[in-house]
Structure formats: structure tokens, C-alpha cells
């Protein structure tokens, strides 16, 4: 019997990355990046990665995974008050969630990308329609470019 998986939409909360605090968290983290400035250069804001949740649950964005044993993950967590005008944030280092999804028919497994004891559904049950649309657009563009390359490589029959 084939298992069907239900999906939950990703939370849409976004906030500015407090760069100075994030740099300190990355520098102080055992196994943090060698270049925390570069790592944060293209992250002026973060998007909550959790599934839709209530306003009492902290939003969470993954910042770094240390190659330690076991791996440790730096998460940026925040809550908003006053219609998002005031943001309370913190950085926490947490182990990963041990849950995994195994698809025997297609021969793959996927680990949950959230911290252990996270609220709500596992990451493999979260869907982001924008990310999915962008991935599909990238796939179609790659197919178009490959087709053009194949057409350019075909010798002219004159």
C-alpha cells in the first residue's frame, strides 16, 4: 500500500537579520564558518522555515550546521509583537530532528531539516509554493538551454 503524505504550507514570516548579533553567534559557535561575514552577506533578511503555526510559536530560520559529531545547528528564532513592529530574537544551537521520511518505491530518504523537538510538522511535510514554482521555472529553463545546445551541435545537412 502506498503511503500518502499530507503537506502543510510554509510560514510566511520574514524579518531583518540582526547582522551584528548573527556574526557574534557564528563566531562563538564551535564549528562555525571560517568566513561568517561572507556567509551573512546575502542574508539581509530571513524567512521562517517552519510550517504554518500560531502566533505563540517562535519563528525559526536555519543559519549554519557545524560539522561536529553529532552535527549542531545554529537557528535564529524570533517573535513579533505590535503588528511586527517589535521583534524579539535569539540564537540557539540545537541538535537536528531525528525523524526521516523513507520512500521505498522511489528509493530515497529525507531527514527532517528542523531542530529536535520542533513544533508542528517535519520539514519533509512542509511545502513552499513559491520555491516550488521557482524550481519548476529553473528546470524548464535548463531543459530549454540543453535543447538549444543540442540544436547547435547538430551538423547542417547542405
The Cα–Cα gap between 141 and 139 comes to: 5
pTM of the predicted model as reported, rounded to 2 decimal places: 0.73
The Cα–Cα gap between 89 and 126 comes to: 23
pLDDT tens, 87-141? 899 999 999 999 888 777 877 788 898 998 888 888 888 887 777 777 788 888 8
pLDDT tens, 24-33? 999 999 999 9
The Cα–Cα gap between 76 and 60 comes to: 6
Amino acid at each position: 500500500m502506498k503511503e500518502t503524505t499530507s503537506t502543510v504550507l510554509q510560514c510566511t514570516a520574514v524579518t531583518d537579520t540582526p547582522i551584528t548579533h548573527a556574526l557574534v553567534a557564528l563566531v562563538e559557535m564551535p564549528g562555525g564558518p571560517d568566513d561568517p561575514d561572507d556567509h551573512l552577506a546575502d542574508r539581509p533578511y530571513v524567512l521562517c522555515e517552519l510550517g504554518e503555526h500560531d502566533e505563540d510559536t517562535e519563528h525559526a530560520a536555519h543559519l549554519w550546521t557545524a560539522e561536529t559529531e553529532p552535527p549542531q545547528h545554529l537557528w535564529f528564532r524570533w517573535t513579533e509583537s505590535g503588528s511586527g513592529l517589535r521583534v524579539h530574537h535569539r540564537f540557539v544551537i540545537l541538535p537536528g530532528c531525528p525523524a526521516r521520511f523513507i520512500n521505498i518505491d522511489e528509493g530515497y530518504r529525507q531527514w527532517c531539516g528542523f531542530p529536535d523537538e520542533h513544533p508542528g510538522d517535519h520539514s519533509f511535510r512542509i511545502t513552499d509554493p513559491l520555491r516550488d514554482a521557482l524550481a519548476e521555472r529553473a528546470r524548464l529553463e535548463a531543459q530549454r538551454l540543453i535543447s538549444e545546445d543540442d540544436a547547435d551541435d547538430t551538423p547542417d545537412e547542405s
